[in-house]
Amino acid sequence: MVVMKFGGSSVANAERIRYISELVKAELSRKPVLVLSAMGDTTDHLLEAAERALKDPVVSMDKIEELHLKTIKELGLAAPVVEEIRPLLGELRNLLVGISLIKELTGRTKDYLVSFGERLSVRIVAAYFNVQGVPARALDSWDAGFLSDSNFTAAELLPESWSLIPQALIPLIQGGILPVVTGFIARDGAGNITTLGRGGSDLSATTIAAACGAEEAQIWKDVDGILTADPRLVPEALPVVTITYDEAAELAYFGAQVLHPRAMQPCSKTGTPVLVKNSYNSGAPGTRITAVLDQKTGPVQAITSRKKVTLVDIVSSRMLGQYGFLEEVFSAFAKYHISVDMVATSEVSVSLTLDTDYDLGLLKKDLAKIAAVEIKTGKAIVTIVGDIRRSSNILAQAFGVCADLEIPVQMVSQGASKVNISFIVNDTQAADVVRALHRIFFEKKPESGGSISKSR
């Protein structure tokens, strides 16, 4: 079997649904399972409707009704489909009325609210396949075995899901039925609807693939796969043909937006390949993510960057060699629930990075008891992902780029995964560095040589 996940833009309207149905039909011999997001901007429209309900006694869900009923009509679906959809729309309206009355939107209610997007989407798409002569069944994720904890808006799937999912899906597949499953949502043990947080729909697909022993998980996006750099910064960016789970996770963690790191975890456990494809350009080969590369690649797979980073320099005020310094430093971060990204240490100092969202006043006050603390904002992490066994060569070229651009490197870190080298520059310098690194590692070098010029 193969799992095919389509995001919101891939099922945004009747035209897109017709298009992806042809992609699925071409894979019918491989026994596909579909995982779908909400149609287009439906999730945003649901949240907008809730925000309005909090402020206004008039409940409005016109955009949501119009999109789904129009799509049903344009796909030529029969009246029974409308009759299946109307109870869901009625349930949604009642929920919005409740939000308007109590003037409260809790995490649990928010998860219940946004679940309607996926639940509507799968019913329309499954109905269209049935009309096309492909037996299909719409499944809410809990009917497909997805059981989560009760951490609303960011739930985690429970281990029981690994056995429940194949129990629910494999009999359907063996019976010649195309399962069309809601992504992103699940249910907890009490029957409450939950959402799986960032990357949740992709996580739904990779969990199904891993739990059912699928041949591969296909994640259909609106880009040609994982690229060598952000195309908004580097128009010459190229698709990466093949990459490891670790490399893809590092890219995602340090700024690439194609896949969330947690979405790859199920398949990395089982060695199930993940193929990232473009539903707007199905002929493009996409990017294949595997445990081990099956072909030789260059020393660098891709370059990414993440802005709005805070750099914290901590220098011990104690005698050299005093034990317990690092323990006290990281205990302070744990006390205030502050997550650290990069770390570089010496005998008496620690430099680390974190997001700018944190209020660091109390942390700095605690750390000042044992160290001198300097906090610098407006920084960016530039990350080079690839074969870091060749790190000397990569670092030499990277630092050469920064020297040519007259950009000082403020911190360097190499992860234990041995697939990335990251360094810190100012926010305003990151784009120049990424573009220059891309020219060095991926583009033909100019015959004349010479230094790299800054962009204007």
DSSP class of 141: G
Instruction: Please report the pLDDT score of residue 415 as a whole number.
Output: 67
User: What are the two backbone dihedrals, phi and then psi, of residue 223, each rounded to the nearest 5 degrees?
Assistant: -130, 165
- pLDDT(266) > 80: yes
CA 187 vs CA 106, 427, 428: distances in Å:
16, 41, 44
Digit-coded pLDDT (tens) for 417-446: 678 889 999 999 999 999 999 999 998 554
Report the pLDDT averaged over residues 107-124: 97
176: left (phi over 0), alpha (psi -120 to 50) or beta: left
Q: Are 90 and 98 in contact (CB under 8 A)?
A: no
pLDDT-derived band of residue 352, with 50, 70 and 90 as boundaries?
Answer: very high
Domains, the chain, with CATH or none: 2-221 (3.40.1160.10), 301-442 (3.30.2130.10)
Q: Which helix (H) or strand (E) holds 136?
A: strand 136-139
Amino acid letter for position 49: A
Instruction: Please report the pLDDT score of residue 304 as a whole number.
Output: 92
CA 126 vs CA 18, 109, 120, 181: distances in Å:
12, 27, 10, 9
Say which range, 7-16, 164-173, 257-266, has the weakest mean pLDDT. 257-266
Most confidently modeled of 17-31, 286-300, 441-455?
A: 17-31
Is pTM, for the whole model, over 0.85? yes
Report the pLDDT averaged over residues 137-148: 98
- pLDDT(329) > 50: yes
Instruction: Please report the pLDDT score of residue 71 as a whole number.
Output: 96
Structural tokens at position 143 = 């009917």
Report the pLDDT averaged over residues 170-190: 97
Instruction: Please report the pLDDT score of residue 254 as a whole number.
Output: 82
pLDDT-derived band of residue 294, with 50, 70 and 90 as boundaries?
Answer: low
- pLDDT(315) > 70: yes
Q: Rounded to an integer, what distance in angstroms lies between the CA atom of residue 182 and that of residue 84?
A: 16
Q: Report which of residues 181 and 296 the model is more confident about.
A: 181
| DSSP string for residues in 341-393 | --EEE-SSEEEEEEETTS--HHHHHHHTTTEEEEEEEEEEEEEEEE-GGGHHH
Report the pLDDT averaged over residues 361-375: 91
User: What are the two backbone dihedrals, phi and then psi, of residue 56, each rounded to the nearest 5 degrees?
Assistant: -130, 135
Closest by Cα among 204, 89, 68, 95 to 146: 204
Instruction: Please report the pLDDT score of residue 82 as a whole number.
Output: 87
Digit-coded pLDDT (tens) for 228-246: 999 999 999 999 999 999 8
Instruction: Please report the pLDDT score of residue 259 as a whole number.
Output: 84
Closest by Cα among 111, 100, 123, 103 to 43: 111
Report the pLDDT averaged over residues 343-363: 86
Mean pLDDT estimate for the chain: 90
The per-type count for the chain, helices as H runs and strands as E runs, is: 13, 17
Q: At what angle do helices 79-102 and 62-74 cross, to 10 degrees?
A: 170
pLDDT-derived band of residue 452, with 50, 70 and 90 as boundaries?
Answer: very low
Instruction: Please report the pLDDT score of residue 153 as a whole number.
Output: 95
Say which range, 120-134, 163-177, 315-329, 398-412, has the weakest mean pLDDT. 315-329
pLDDT-derived band of residue 455, with 50, 70 and 90 as boundaries?
Answer: very low
Instruction: Please report the pLDDT score of residue 327 as a whole number.
Output: 87
Most confidently modeled of 144-148, 218-222, 239-243?
A: 144-148
Say which range, 153-162, 271-280, 375-384, 441-450, has the weakest mean pLDDT. 441-450
Burial of 225 (0-12, 13-18, 19+ CB in 10 A): buried
Report the pLDDT averaged over residues 185-196: 97
Q: Rounded to an integer, what distance in angstroms lies between the CA atom of residue 233 and that of residue 153?
A: 32
Give the position of tokens 């960011």. 154
212: which strand partners? none
Percentage of the chain modeled with pLDDT above 90? 72
Say which range, 313-322, 338-347, 446-455, has the weakest mean pLDDT. 446-455
- pLDDT(201) > 70: yes
Which residues lie below 8 Å from residue 15, measured CB to CB, with a gap of 6+?
Answer: none
Q: Are 396 and 441 in contact (CB under 8 A)?
A: no
- pLDDT(152) > 70: yes
Q: Rounded to an integer, what distance in angstroms lies between the CA atom of residue 437 and that of residue 430?
A: 11
Digit-coded pLDDT (tens) for 390-418: 677 888 899 999 999 999 999 998 866 67
Which residues lie below 8 Å from residue 223, measured CB to CB, with a gap of 6+?
Answer: 231, 258, 278
Q: Which helix (H) or strand (E) holds 452?
A: none
Amino acid letter for position 416: A
Q: How far is CA 406 from the centre of its chain?
A: 34
